[in-house]
Structure 1
Amino acid sequence: MKQPGSPHQSAKKAGAGCPRGRPREFDTNTVLASASQVFWNHGYHATSIDDLCKATGLLRGSLYGVFGDKHGIMLAALDHYAEGSVARLAERLNAPVPAEESLRNALLHYARVACALTGERSCFITNTTLEMQPGDEELRARVAAIQRRMATLLAASVIRGQASGAFNATLDEKAVGDFLLCIMQGLRVMGRVAHQEDALIKIVDVAMRALV
């Protein structure tokens, strides 16, 4: 997914379409939030540096100076998005209710969000995973790390359910965590095609029954 050529060479090319920008001391989180929305809406390959300049209000030189190139902006934007996504999953799974209820509610959230999103927007992490090129090892490692964090949170929820007697104690919590991550990702992908909440809720119910 890396673009050819030096970012510094690219920065010297026609910058029309990029606004004059803000002072160098911009808020990185705000910039990454804007960049992630552009990548999320259009995908990596269809997003241009001019698109990112317009969304962030920064010059090419400012973006390149901090993130290196478009690929670097993408990685930083993905990290920024993932931090919020993982934190929200942890909050749902650690809600002050029985483990089986918090887990089901977390899965239902993904089912409902998948149905609510329009077009092919889906989830930024899911979209990036599907668009990822085979040779992009840096992005592959980034996505794998995000998935590991999510699977670990799901496995911890399974352990809590096993401790309370709600889930089958013989189940391997790591394998179940990976299984539930697959369910989450599948809900997001299916939601891109069929916006049928009832059908996705039934999938969640089947997944929950597999744990008892």
Structure 2
Amino acid sequence: MGRPKQFDPDVAVEQAMEVFWRKGYAGTTPQDLVDALGIGKGSLYNTFGSKHALFEKALRRYRDSQAVALVEMLERPGPVKVRLRRTLEFLVEMDLADPDRRGCMAVNAAAELAGTDETATELVQRMLDRTEDAFRALIEEGQRSGEIAPERDPAALGSLLLNTVVGLRLTARVAEGPERLTRVIDAVIESL
């Protein structure tokens, strides 16, 4: 009879997510994961199968937690443009406060693995789709409330906002301060 697992796989996925987020997929070694999770290599492979399988679980965990948090922020009560500004400012503040300047794990995975890793590409694409849909829904709400002109294309504005977030999250990784990022947020809100 095998020994019982000495760790919680859900906690291990969360810990692995932090490692992959900080170091990227290629930069993370199995030893990095073993060290972070406090388990042996045998337990790592017996539980998750491979480094890549654990990465997929970590990316799903990130997608589920981050996409839900973003949608919740956008769905709060209040004027649409105020909610949008607060959400964008929150992302910038969060990224600038991170001492590791990790940015967005999904954006990082897209930059590192798109076109070479079908599963990671699909996971990131679904997260981007969900985010873009949330922005489109926010624009449509703003059109119904009269905050955004009804002739504007909600799908195009949703895409613009998605790309704004991607750009903000990448720029925040190297920004010396919030000034450039704040200008982008101001310009985007004014453009609506």
Q: Which of 122, 128, 132 is the equivalent residue of 1:141? A: 122
Residues 95 and 102, structure 2, Cα contact 8 Å, conserved in 1: no
Residues 29 and 80, structure 1, Cα contact 8 Å, conserved in 2: no
Over aligned residue pairs, what C-alpha RMSD do you find? Answer: 1.7
For this pair of structures, how many residues does the alignment match?
190
SS of the residue corresponding to residue 52 of structure 1 reads helix
Q: Which residue of 2 aligns with 1:108?
A: 89
- Matched to 1:99, the amino acid is V
Residues 85 and 185, structure 2, Cα contact 8 Å, conserved in 1: yes
Q: Which residue of 2 aligns with 1:10?
A: none
- Matched to 2:58, the amino acid is A
Distance 2:182 2:104 in 1: 18
Residues 19 and 32, structure 2, Cα contact 8 Å, conserved in 1: yes
What are the equivalent positions in structure 2 for 1:58-97 lying under 5 Å apart? 58-97=39-78
Cα distance, 1:125 vs structure 2: 1.6
Q: Which residue of 1 aligns with 2:29?
A: 48
Q: Which residue of 2 aligns with 1:193?
A: 174
Cα distance, 1:119 vs structure 2: 4.6
Residues 114 and 195, structure 1, Cα contact 8 Å, conserved in 2: no
Question: Which sections of structure 2, spanning at least 5 residues, go unmatched?
Answer: none
Q: Which residue of 2 aligns with 1:202?
A: 183
Q: What's the TM-score once normalised by structure 2's chain length?
A: 0.91
Over 6 Å off, 4+ runs: none
Q: Which residue of 1 aligns with 2:140?
A: 159
Cα distance, 1:196 vs structure 2: 2.0
Range with greater deviation from structure 2 (54-63 or 122-131): 54-63
Residues 114 and 187, structure 1, Cα contact 8 Å, conserved in 2: no
Residues 99 and 161, structure 1, Cα contact 8 Å, conserved in 2: yes
Cα distance, 1:195 vs structure 2: 2.7
Question: Which sections of structure 1, spanning at least 5 residues, go unmatched?
Answer: 1-21
Cα distance, 1:129 vs structure 2: 1.6
Q: Which of 162, 172, 177 is the equivalent residue of 2:153? A: 172
Q: What's the TM-score once normalised by structure 1's chain length?
A: 0.83
What are the equivalent positions in structure 2 for 1:18-33 lying under 5 Å apart? 23-24=4-5, 26-33=7-14
Cα distance, 1:191 vs structure 2: 1.0
Range with greater deviation from structure 2 (79-88 or 132-141): 132-141
Distance 2:189 2:114 in 1: 33
Residues 30 and 51, structure 2, Cα contact 8 Å, conserved in 1: yes
Larger Rg: 1
Q: Which residue of 1 aligns with 2:17?
A: 36
Pair 1:132 & 2:113 matched? yes
Q: Which residue of 2 aligns with 1:118?
A: 99
